[in-house]
Amino acid sequence: MAQSTDITLENQSGANFRTELNSILAALSSLQSGATAPTTTNAYQLWVDTSSSPAALKLRNGANTAWVTVSSDVTATNLGLAALAGATFTGDITLNAQSDVRFADSDSSNWVAFQAPATVSSNVTWTLPSADGTSGQFLKTNGSGTLSWDTSAGAVTSVGGQTGAVTYATSWAVGTGATAATNTDLDVSGTYAGNVVSVAALDIDCSTGNYFTKSISTSSTFTFSNVPSSRAYSFTLEVNCTGASTAITWPAAVKWPADTAPTLTDAKTHLFLFVTDNGGTTFRGASLVDYTT
């Protein structure tokens, strides 16, 4: 430890001059180390404050009005300051004003970054999992800041667009404002509608809807295709007969009450309902015939 009352050499005898000069040089070479601040100060002057343990390195500010702590531990490697090549931090790091944490690519020409939102109403800390998850898992929160890996219940390509495989593991409640009723998989409040499929040829493609329309002017033979398997499935077919001799031949899988197909009147509209529970091996048919419009 070495300090000098001042660093100005006064006119004096040779021996006193040498003593004061050595005192000043010792103080400068030891960065004015001491438990109290030097009495004589200058802008950007260095001082090792030994009043704390470990000692701190301080720098006089440019206005020569206060000391600024450069390092709180002069014994630490690199004065405890973060090295450009990498550093280990033992305390929290705060980036002010939405500053980014950036990760540069291999040639440092571009980067990706994380950033806080513009407004944070209260402090939030997320604790990461202690190990990696498995392929396809995602991070979820427990609502208290703890993150963990989890697996999606099923493959969802789109919900709003209704494309791809959309599945749900339990009951749906649609428009009810509450959970689904007991022993109910789909609980719907309000109206719902289905699409109307206009049949171009004479094949009913069951994968396209549940209500089909077809106009015929001659005798016609219908076929059914793409029937859902392992499910109960039903559809309605609306047939508008616009000509004479518009007899209809149905697939052999269609069974009518009393094994008798309905008799149709030409130039009328007819409704047919078909139900299967075995993937189309058997369809049970019912009819409402001879509407004038």
User: What digits encode the pLDDT tens for the residues 82-128?
Assistant: 788 888 888 899 999 999 999 999 999 999 999 999 999 999 999 99
Q: Is 135 exposed, middle or buried (0-12, 13-18, 19+ CB in 10 A)?
A: exposed
Range of 3-12, 227-236, 241-250 with top mean pLDDT: 227-236
Is there a domain that residue 116 lies in?
A: no
Sequence-distant (≥ 6) Cβ neighbours of residue 175 within 8 angstroms: 188, 189, 190
Indicate whether 220 pLDDT > 60. Answer: yes
Residue 283 has pLDDT above 70, yes or no: yes
DSSP letter (8 states) at residue 16: H
Residue 29: the pLDDT is 65
Which residue, 53, 77, 101, sits at the end of a domain?
77
**Helix count and strand count (H, E) for the chain:** 1, 19
Is residue 181 one of the residues assigned to a domain? no
Domain boundary among 25, 51, 77: 77
> Which of the given ranges, 59-63, 274-278, 289-293, has the highest pLDDT on average?
274-278
Q: Would residue 176 count as lying in a domain?
A: no
| Structural tokens at position 61 | 């500010």
pLDDT of residue 155: 53
**Could you tell me if residue 262 is inside a domain?**
yes
| Cα dihedral: 36, 37, 38, 40 (round 10) | -140
Domain membership of residue 247 (yes or no) is yes
Task: With 0.75 as the threshold, say if the pTM is over it.
Answer: no
Question: For 149-167, how does the pLDDT look when each residue is reduced to its tens digit (9 = 90+)?
Answer: 998 766 555 555 545 545 5
> 30 falls in which pLDDT band (50, 70, 90)?
low
- The number of domains in the chain is 2
Q: What is the pLDDT of residue 191?
A: 86
Burial of 28 from C-beta contacts in 10 A (0-12 / 13-18 / 19+): middle
pLDDT higher than threshold 60 for residue 1: no
Q: Which residue from 224, 220, 229 is spatially nearest to 270, judged by alpha carbons?
A: 220
Name which of 64-78, 119-133, 150-164, 233-247 the model is least confident about: 150-164
Range of the domain at 59: 14-77
47 neighbors 33 (Cβ within 8 angstroms): yes
Range list of β-strands (E), 8-66: 46-49, 56-60
Cis check: omega of the bond before 257, within 30 degrees of 0: no
pLDDT over 90 (residue 147):
yes
In this predicted structure, the answer to whether residue 180 has a pLDDT above a threshold of 90 is no
Q: Is residue 191 part of a domain?
A: no
Share in percent of the chain as helix, strand, coil (round to 5): 10, 30, 60
**Residue 86 included in any domain:** no
Judged by average pLDDT, the poorest of 51-65, 67-81, 108-122 is 67-81
| Distance, CA of 30 to CA of 50 (rounded, Å) | 12
> Which of 22, 45, 77 is the C-terminal boundary of a domain?
77
Query: Any idea what the Cα angle at residue 234 is, between residues 233 and 238, rounded to 5°?
Result: 150
Give the span between the Cα atoms of 22 and 49, in whole angstroms. Answer: 21
In a domain, 286, yes or no: yes
